[in-house]
Amino acid sequence: MADEGNDTRQNATVDARLAAIVDSSFDAIISKDLNSVIKSWNQAAERMFGYSAEEAIGQSILMLIPDHLKGEEVEIISRVRSGDRVASYETTRRRKDGVLIAVSLTVSPIKNADGEIVGASKIARDISAIKESERRIRLLMREVNHRVKNQFAVILSMVRETSKRSSDPREFEELIRARIMALSRSHDLLVTSEWAGASLFDLIQEHLKPFGREGQILLSGPVLTLQSNAVQALGMAFHELGTNSSKYGALGSEGGRVEITWTTGSGTQVSSSARGAAASAEREFQLLWKEISTPPQGDGGDEISRPDDTRKGFGTVVLQRVAPQSLGGSAELERSPGYLSWRLSAPLAAIIVPQASAEAEDAAALGFGI
């Protein structure tokens, strides 16, 4: 009799320990009979599915299964009756509030003291965060793949156009290297933001930093976050303008000055009630690069300022055709001794990210040197 009492106490201790493990588990642990009626429901199941134990126990497990997946339960019960353990698999279940969640399930038979299968235990793990992460990675990889192909096309165009205008192999190598590095700077800004866009100020700063003369550059305009396409197109333009200026213009002398200003609007003040996606689509982005310097002595000029329009430099092609066409806009390039200006106009919707707020578009103008 004493041995039987010890066995009873040991069994009670084991049962209590197992119950504590089940109740403290981070995974939902549910038991059900062979009619799919819920028999036990731990705290993790309450958190995951939103039903209390009182609400769930005695109900059919089908209340958690979306209509189009109810056939899964028939197959599971069939395998459990055969004594099979259902290996982990991923599926979808419905919470009390109707929200669908991704879960990983493992199902095992439950046997009574005589070894008969009387039900099944189910362990469910919420993998919604993992699935969302995988979805974001897939989207990012598709975006990266698209951007890489686009970069290849741009580089091939650079090589082709630069080769037409360079007779010296050493000059050709130098120009190509500089332009690819400029593309890389724009690319780095986009990667940092996970392709969500980049600040116009950061883009200008990144492309003009290699030329120095920060004190001679003035920026003025509202805070804007650029779309990835605008980052690439404007980045190419700023590189060509900066290169030209450092060799033949304002950034090549102590007394030169570069002013870069941008505005958003349609020529009239837009009321707060007109803000939103529709208003952004109708508004216009305007950017002006203006530089003043002492005119060089003798015959000078680079790919932008070269007077022979029958052999336009690659810089001119970028400023007059590539950048504005990429943004669905237009551009004007004016030059004279000691002066150069480039004015770009484009739909605001082609410049800023779609989620850009009205507050960002109408932010107070900033004026400072870089």
With a cut of 90, say whether residue 38 has pLDDT above it. Answer: yes
Spatial separation of the C-alpha atoms in residues 256 and 216, rounded to whole Å? 7
DSSP state string for 327-354: TT-EEEEEEETTEEEEEEEEEGGGTB-T
**Taking the mean position of all CA atoms in its chain, how far away is CA 258?**
33
- In terms of pLDDT, which residue wins out, 341 or 85? 341
Spatial separation of the C-alpha atoms in residues 40 and 64, rounded to whole Å? 14
Q: What pLDDT shows up at residue 9? A: 53
Q: How many CB atoms lie within 10 A of CB 40?
A: 18
> What is the tens place of the pLDDT at every residue in 199-211?
899 899 889 888 8
All residues at 6 or more sequence positions from 215 whose CB lies less than 8 Å from its CB, including other chains:
369
Residue from 296, 338, 343, 337 nearest 319 by CA: 343
pTM of the model: 0.58
> What is the tens place of the pLDDT at every residue in 297-323?
554 444 454 433 334 577 888 898 888
Which domains are assigned to the chain? 2-126 (3.30.450.20), 131-369 (3.30.565.10)
Lay out the sheet containing 117-126: strands in order across. 38-41, 28-33, 117-126, 100-111, 86-94
Residue from 282, 252, 260 nearest 270 by CA: 282
- Which residue matches tokens 């700023």? 238
Residue from 96, 224, 93, 229 nearest 151 by CA: 229
All residues at 6 or more sequence positions from 231 whose CB lies less than 8 Å from its CB, including other chains:
186, 189, 190, 197, 198, 203
277: helix, strand or coil: helix
Average pLDDT value for residue range 276-287: 67
Cβ(269)–Cβ(331) below 8 Å: no
Average pLDDT value for residue range 44-69: 93
All residues at 6 or more sequence positions from 161 whose CB lies less than 8 Å from its CB, including other chains:
314, 317
Q: Which amino acid is present at 283? A: R
